[in-house]
Structure 1
Amino acid sequence: MSTSTTKALLYCAVNGIANNTNGIGRQTKTFLATLARHHHRLSAHAGAFTPYLAVPEPGPATWGYNEDDLRYAHRIVEDLGGEVITLPYDTHRPFWHPDTWRHLSAEAAHAAGHLADRHKKVLAIGVDTPFAGLAHHTHPGVEVLLALFSTARITERPHPDPGRIAWEEEAIAAAGLHPRAWVADIGDFLTRHLQDQYRLDPGTLRAWPSGLDLTAADLAPPTRTEAERIVRAIGIPAGRPVVAAIGRTDHTKGLDLLVEELAPLRENVHLAMVAVPTDDDRANLLDSYRQRSAELGLSATIIGRYDRTIPRALAAWPDTFAMAVPSRGETLANIVFETALWAQQGGAVVLAPNIDGFPEQITDGHNGLLYDPAPGTLIQGLRRALALTCSERARLRAAAHRTVLKQRNAAEHLATLLATFWLPRATPVTTLHGHPATDARTPRSQAPASTHHPLEATP
């Protein structure tokens, strides 16, 4: 184990290390890619540090377990002197339950305490709900950042689980009481939601906007030949406008809404949907989407596995008029940002409901389309997308691309975050390119009553 640095960064996550099945997994993959490509620059910017990962003990119980993913994670952190720390837990008990999360959070806090024996400063980042309990634990030399990406009140509307809400409320309250615990300000909507619904103390916030590794090869648009090869291989017919959608078989993703509202357009469009079953999909939603599409007579290709080349090709395919994101609740949808990069040379415009974090990502008519979330209005948004001229689609795509490049650089965001924790308070915080950055190091006792939100959409 490395002892060459005084600082350690411990990233605690349940997805994206030994698997990659959801948006949180994509965030972890972005974090790993940022380390791999930019660790030297990050260290020069915020001080040398050793990265570590903490993950629930990987194995067959892991949703979407993939040994290649785990080997990749090991290689990234071990090449930088760190390690992957496996956290034991009872794999026979339900994973998505506060009792399991409480145990994992305690194990992760214990690991952070051990790192503090070797490093003078440790920043432990608890990614999303399963590690929200990190704020309950205190260790000298360890600071905790809770990086929540959603809550039960968002993803389980209209009847969120009371146990999950209680777990989240306890975590936010603990962060307000712990002098070395903080909450990530990943975006306007979620921060307002945590303040309004969970009584989050604004003084606990540290800016860490959700972002992408903008240099990643899999975020570059495919060539026309490559896109055509993939869309033809999955059975997309020629000569019809395509409406694409990507999501888990989760009620909150609203894929069922898209299937229903496409019925009046059955003669005109083809639905290309990637619907990946969750690890607790007891309702067999994938089968229900396929059955309902057949009953409605839709022209549809519904794929039940995740292969990143497919959404990349669909987003860039010239016949794809819309990347529909019909979610019932969403903080910040990765597919909105990714489509902006994949479709920069041609293809889809994003269509999403005017709720939650979507207005933070999309300015209607500028870099995408928003529709009223009332029942029966998705079809109006679809018709609007299909009626766009080639020049209108190109203008929206270009604006979307510019917005992502300007606002979503994950390397810049991580550099600024680390600097706010590790640089002396008198040291100006700058971006990797030397530009001034928002300094979020104000002591809690001096924190402003209102929160600075770094992610406001640029019209």
Structure 2
Amino acid sequence: MTTARGGRPPSRALLYCTFNGAANCTNGIGRQTQTLLGTLTRRWEKLTAITGPFTPYLAIPEPGPATWAYDPHLLAATCRTVESSGGRILPLAYDTTAAFWTPPVWRQLSQQAAETARTLAGRYDHVAVIAVDTPFAGTGRAFLEGALLPPGAGTVEILLTLYGTAYVHSHPAPDPGRLAWEQRSLTVAGQPGVRVADIGEAFTRHLITEYAVDPAHLVPYRCSLDLTAPDLQPMPAADALQITATFGVPLDRPIVLAVGRTDPTKGFDQLITAVAPLRDIVHLVAVIVAFSDADPLTRTYRQQIADAGLRATYVDRFTRDLPRALASLPHTVAVVCPSRGESLANLPFEVGLWARHQGPIVVAPALGGFPETITDLDNGLLYNPADPGGLTAALQHVIAMDDTARSAIRQRAYHRVVRERDVVTAYAETLTRAFTPTPDPTR
């Protein structure tokens, strides 16, 4: 182990900058934050036995009424978790009257994250910053363009951790403002102290091709799960049946489940169209979380379901219990991810754990990160997204499967998640690299 001045072991801090999962939890990025928090409580000793000790900090947009799906009880629990490991929550002020998903807000958050890293460098020998997704993509540039660290300050390593880009999420054409922000943010990758997270093969190829990221400047950051988390275990049948009844889900037909947010890229309109020919066979459960009460896509999807004559349960608020319950029951045959674009989805991993004994298999398009996590007819089903009838045919295939075939796919899905997605292994690899300063050619 390297030593700090005076021969003592180096002090180290992790600054995790995110906008979801601490005071709200409505998407995959929120689940990644929750995975980190779970690691601090359940896997801390095992992780630090590999990485060495460090102090965790969580930097988030200042929480309050402007935070969508704001949950003060979750925030309080997050504070307790971080503080139990010696760190704390660091709120970042921003213009709460402005639209969150715009470059001016992202610039404010990235600049504050950079200044927070600079402050921590005055207290620690090494600071590793994980800057999560588009709102914090400018952290590296803001840090490099800010004041120089004072003599004696620690090193700062910033890992720009994107989970999507304008090309992936701005369907059908990239949003110019977001695209320019991402391009400018990523041009500093490779400068001393700034690297880019490699979250998966397909998305990394996208960053290399569309954003000219040099592969030499990548750090592995595998999407992972705390395999010991209570909410990743199959739900007991009695509890699962009670929850499905609470939501009014009938169990007299095979269930097709979809989970996501009201984003055109998620492709729920395509799913509804694909399920329409099966209207007399299946019951659709669509958990599609609205960005706000006035989100027009909620009305659009409900109307499309009605026009298609589908029997369906539509839930427009976040719930983790219902997907877990349905994935734990034999009545559910498929969990569908009908995305038009996806860098790497968490849901297939969670379903693999929930459905290990009984329940659904994952059906997804052969695009984005899905083919690197799903092998067709091995641990799930892939369909050709260019084939208008591809998703319908895939669902028909799943419905026609016998229990033995479906069970074999579920078991392979479970074992692949356990083999490839353990959070301790993933974080140990990432933090070992992130706490290692990159050489500065000017010195």
TM-score range, shorter chain: over 0.9
| Matching residue's letter, 2:120 | L
The one-character-per-residue Cα deviations of 1:137-191 (angstroms, maximum 9, x if unpaired) are: 1364211011111111011122110110111111111113x21111111110111
Task: Give how far 1:320 is off.
Answer: 0.7
Distance 1:442 1:57 in 2: 31
| Matching residue's letter, 1:7 | R
SS at match of 1:330: coil
In the alignment, what sits opposite 1:173?
187
SS at match of 2:26: coil
Distance 1:443 1:240 in 2: 61
Equivalent position to 1:8, from 9, 13, 26: 13
Q: Structure 1's 444 and 332: CA in aligned 2 closer, same or farther, altered over 3 A?
A: farther
Are 1:383 and 2:388 counterparts? no
In the alignment, what sits opposite 1:152?
166
Q: Is the contact made by 1:261 and 1:379 (CA closer than 8 Å) also made in structure 2?
A: yes
In the alignment, what sits opposite 2:309?
297
Are 1:127 and 2:132 counterparts? yes
In the alignment, what sits opposite 1:36?
41
The one-character-per-residue Cα deviations of 1:285-315 (angstroms, maximum 9, x if unpaired) are: 1122222212221111111111111000111
The one-character-per-residue Cα deviations of 1:235-262 (angstroms, maximum 9, x if unpaired) are: 2223211111111011111111111221
SS at match of 2:43: helix
Are 1:278 and 2:283 counterparts? no
The worse-fitting range, judged by mean Cα deviation, of 347-356 and 77-86 is 77-86
The one-character-per-residue Cα deviations of 1:52-101 (angstroms, maximum 9, x if unpaired) are: 01011100001111101111111111111111111111111111001110
TM-score (norm 1): 0.89
| Matching residue's letter, 1:16 | G
Are 1:161 and 2:175 counterparts? yes
Q: Structure 1's 444 and 203: CA in aligned 2 closer, same or farther, altered over 3 A?
A: farther
Identity between Structure 1 and Structure 2 (%) = 48
The worse-fitting range, judged by mean Cα deviation, of 371-380 and 358-367 is 371-380
Distance 2:184 2:90 in 1: 26
The one-character-per-residue Cα deviations of 1:24-46 (angstroms, maximum 9, x if unpaired) are: 11111101111222222322222
Task: Give how far 1:227 is off.
Answer: 1.4
Q: Is the contact made by 2:171 and 2:264 (CA closer than 8 Å) also made in structure 1?
A: no
Q: CA RMSD in A?
A: 1.7
Q: Point out where structure 1 has 5 or more consecutive residues left out of the alignment.
A: 424-440, 446-459
In the alignment, what sits opposite 1:216?
229
Query: Within 5 A, what are the aligned runs for 1:22-171?
Result: 22-136=27-141, 137-138=143-144, 140=149, 141-171=155-185
Q: Is the contact made by 1:204 and 1:444 (CA closer than 8 Å) also made in structure 2?
A: no
Q: Point out where structure 2 has 5 or more consecutive residues left out of the alignment.
A: 1-8, 150-154
Equivalent position to 1:225, from 238, 241, 257: 238
| Matching residue's letter, 2:359 | G
Q: Is the contact made by 1:5 and 1:49 (CA closer than 8 Å) also made in structure 2?
A: no
| Matching residue's letter, 1:165 | L
Are 1:339 and 2:351 counterparts? yes
The one-character-per-residue Cα deviations of 1:343-402 (angstroms, maximum 9, x if unpaired) are: 000000100001110001100010000000023321111111111111110000000001
In the alignment, what sits opposite 2:429?
416
SS at match of 2:138: helix
Task: Give how far 1:422 is off.
Answer: 3.4
| Matching residue's letter, 1:272 | V
| Matching residue's letter, 2:11 | T
Query: Within 5 A, what are the aligned runs for 1:401-440?
Result: 401-422=414-435
Equivalent position to 1:352, from 361, 364, 367: 364
| Matching residue's letter, 2:138 | G
In the alignment, what sits opposite 1:371?
383
The worse-fitting range, judged by mean Cα deviation, of 317-326 and 33-42 is 33-42
Q: Is the contact made by 2:127 and 2:435 (CA closer than 8 Å) also made in structure 1?
A: no
| Matching residue's letter, 1:149 | Y
Task: Give how far 1:5 is off.
Answer: 6.9
Aligned residues: 423
Q: Is the contact made by 2:138 and 2:185 (CA closer than 8 Å) also made in structure 1?
A: yes
| Matching residue's letter, 1:133 | G
SS at match of 2:197: strand
